[in-house]
Amino acid sequence: MARRFKKTRPIKWLLLSFIVIAGIYPIAVLHYYTDSGKQQQQQQQLLGDDSLRPPWVAKTATTNTTVPNNINDDHAGKQLLDNVNPVNKHNASIISSSSSSSSSSSSSSTNSTNLHKKTTSDVIVYLAQFSTHHSSYGNQLDSNQIPITGINKLNKSLTLLYSNYATQFPTDVLIFYEDNLNAPSPQIMNELKRNHGPNLQFRPLDKKKHWSLPYGLQRWEHYTWMRPAFSIGYRLMMRWYAILIWFYLSEEGYTHVMRLDDDSYIHSKIEYNMFDYMRNNKIRYGFVQPTYEPGGEAFDALVDGYLNKNPNVTSQNLIQSYKQDRGVGFYNNFFMADVSFFITPPAASLLTLIDRSKLIFTQRTGDLVIQSAVARLFLKPEEVHWFRDLTYEHMTLCGKEKCGPLIHKGCPQNGGVSRGKGYTHAEWMTFATEQVRNRFANNPKKCSVPINHYFVGAEDVRTCSRLGSKCGFYLKMVSGVNDTVVEDMAWLNKVYDGGKMVMVEKML
């Protein structure tokens, strides 16, 4: 009997297993397809916002447009350009009527703001923070370590912008903000509009379309990403300026854009229309301050893979120039751009690939790196303009006890003030000393703020701006390189700090 049991036991287990599997399998299959359907539906909803769908591609009831696979297909490129300019053709919007009807009362007020009739095809944009606490840099302090609010910085920036440019050359000014508790109050908005004119508008960024993580990323993963001290909000900002803004502006009917930060300050009078200058001289991208910032191994590998797969996408001369030193870039807290360049191939194709890679989030690949790479790879140097004729300031102060050698808390960490035209050397020294370096006179750490004939501030921009530096091989080729102050050879080898010559540089 025992022997018979041993022989039949495997058969019983086999039959039992078959019965269990037969019962579970239909349930598992049903669960799989139900869950898969939910995931596909969720993914499609996300794609309808802006995640894996190229953000410059409109989603309509009758059109399923994608960036052409063949980036050299001129017909496909023209077709894409037609599809991403619905406003110009039919005054259409990609926002469906259903989403409009479900908007909250605050969204209704926003929509009424968006009905403001644009005055030109040009626009100046800000992305402002209105609190005293920066999501990545912490509490915002001035050079004397006194708390300063985002609204104070923005008001100063707008005052200088209008007095030195926008009053003489009126254009729309859009101030974007994250639509949350950090939003400006109605009183602040009304006051700024009253002080600076009716062309000033406030635009909240839609949480689903413009201010959300791409599909597949979760907020809790932030602490596993490279350089987690930079917040999710900071990375969303980088995605906005690198990827999403171009389609937004095209949808609104704008063709050219200037970006400023809330702490970007134009200190000199601009006597010409900068947008007209770009159009008349066929300039497609412009900057004020060059800088040096490598993209990292992952970004370099992605770009190389794209270029290897599409060897004829741009000229070999531009590829070789880019690969000679990929770190040469544009400090894009100020930039000017032809919007159409970024929403059509090949720029649009590379931007799509970058966005899908999620490197902006996982590797902290910045909008500076992305814009610089796209402009250098796909634009001839004469289509890139260096605006050296205006005095411009953007300066980030160290918020930690120490941010590097000789960079202590409250001292300049990045950026500074670039000298434009209109100063004698004595006037520039006075301005740089009294208006810039003296701000840090009370810092107990004794900030180092060197002054030379074209710049005062941190090392990054000061070093890269020299035509004899590692950035010079590219800067010598761009438009506007000679539109600068008269060179004084007695100044070219001097850098001053605290009234004393502290180092010697060869500028040219």
Q: Tell me how far apart the alpha carbons of residues 208 and 453 are, in angstroms, rounded to a whole number.
A: 47
Q: Tell me how far apart the alpha carbons of residues 402 and 25 are, in angstroms, rounded to a whole number.
A: 61
Mean pLDDT of the 257-268 span: 96
Residue 381 · residue 478 · CB < 8 Å? yes
What amino acid is encoded at 271 in this protein?
Answer: E
Give percent of the chain with pLDDT exceeding 90: 56
Residue 202 · residue 43 · CB < 8 Å? no
pTM: 0.75
Place of tokens 């050219």: 256
pLDDT of residue 138: 53
pLDDT tens digits, one per residue of 218-250:
999 999 999 999 999 999 999 999 999 999 999
Mean pLDDT of the 33-55 span: 38
* DSSP 3-state of 504: coil
pLDDT of 22 strictly over 60 = no
pLDDT tens digits, one per residue of 166-221:
999 999 999 999 877 678 889 999 999 999 988 999 999 998 899 999 999 999 99
Q: Please state, rounded to an integer, the average pLDDT across all residues of the chain.
A: 78
Residue 241 · residue 234 · CB < 8 Å? no
- The pLDDT-based confidence of 139 (bands split at 50, 70, 90) is low
Structure-derived torsion over alpha carbons of residues 375, 379, 383, 384, reported in degrees to the nearest 10:
20
Question: H helices within 84-200, ranges in order?
Answer: 86-90, 97-101, 105-114, 150-161, 186-196
Q: Tell me how far apart the alpha carbons of residues 171 and 189 are, in angstroms, rounded to a whole number.
A: 18
Which DSSP symbol is given to 215? T
Q: Give the lowest-confidence range in 89-93, 182-186, 341-345, 414-418.
A: 89-93
What amino acid is encoded at 170 in this protein?
Answer: P
pLDDT of residue 129: 84
pLDDT tens digits, one per residue of 94-118:
222 223 333 333 343 444 344 456 6
Q: Tell me how far apart the alpha carbons of residues 27 and 394 are, in angstroms, rounded to a whole number.
A: 61
Q: 422: buried, middle or exposed (CB in 10 Å: 19+, 13-18, 0-12)? A: middle
Q: Which residue has the higher pLDDT, 138 or 407?
A: 407
pLDDT of 6 strictly over 70 = no
pLDDT of 34 strictly over 90 = no
Asked if the peptide bond before residue 147 counts as cis, ω within 30 degrees of 0, the response is no
Which DSSP symbol is given to 432? I
Question: H helices within 65-162, ranges in order?
Answer: 74-83, 86-90, 97-101, 105-114, 150-161
> Strand pairing of 256-259 and 122-127?
parallel
pLDDT tens digits, one per residue of 467-491:
889 999 999 999 999 876 544 444 4
pLDDT of 29 strictly over 70 = no
Q: Tell me how far apart the alpha carbons of residues 168 and 170 are, in angstroms, rounded to a whole number.
A: 6
Residue 92 · residue 105 · CB < 8 Å? no
Q: Tell me how far apart the alpha carbons of residues 158 and 397 are, in angstroms, rounded to a whole number.
A: 21
Which DSSP symbol is given to 116? S
Mean pLDDT of the 258-275 span: 96
Q: Tell me how far apart the alpha carbons of residues 415 and 191 are, in angstroms, rounded to a whole number.
A: 30
pLDDT tens digits, one per residue of 322-370:
999 999 999 999 999 999 999 999 999 999 999 999 999 999 999 999 9
- For 413, phi and psi rounded to 5 degrees? -105, -45
User: Residues 298, 301, 307, 308: is their CA dihedral positive or negative?
Assistant: negative
Mean pLDDT of the 423-435 span: 92
Q: Output the DSSP codes for 263-279.
A: T-EE-S---S-HHHHHH
Q: Tell me how far apart the alpha carbons of residues 179 and 240 are, in angstroms, rounded to a whole number.
A: 14
Most confident of the following: 65-69, 119-123, 198-202, 299-303: 299-303
pLDDT tens digits, one per residue of 158-176:
999 999 999 999 999 999 9
pLDDT tens digits, one per residue of 288-319:
999 999 999 999 999 999 999 999 999 999 99
pLDDT of residue 142: 59
Mean pLDDT of the 453-480 span: 92
pLDDT of 93 strictly over 50 = no
Q: Tell me how far apart the alpha carbons of residues 309 and 192 are, in angstroms, rounded to a whole number.
A: 49
pLDDT of residue 421: 85
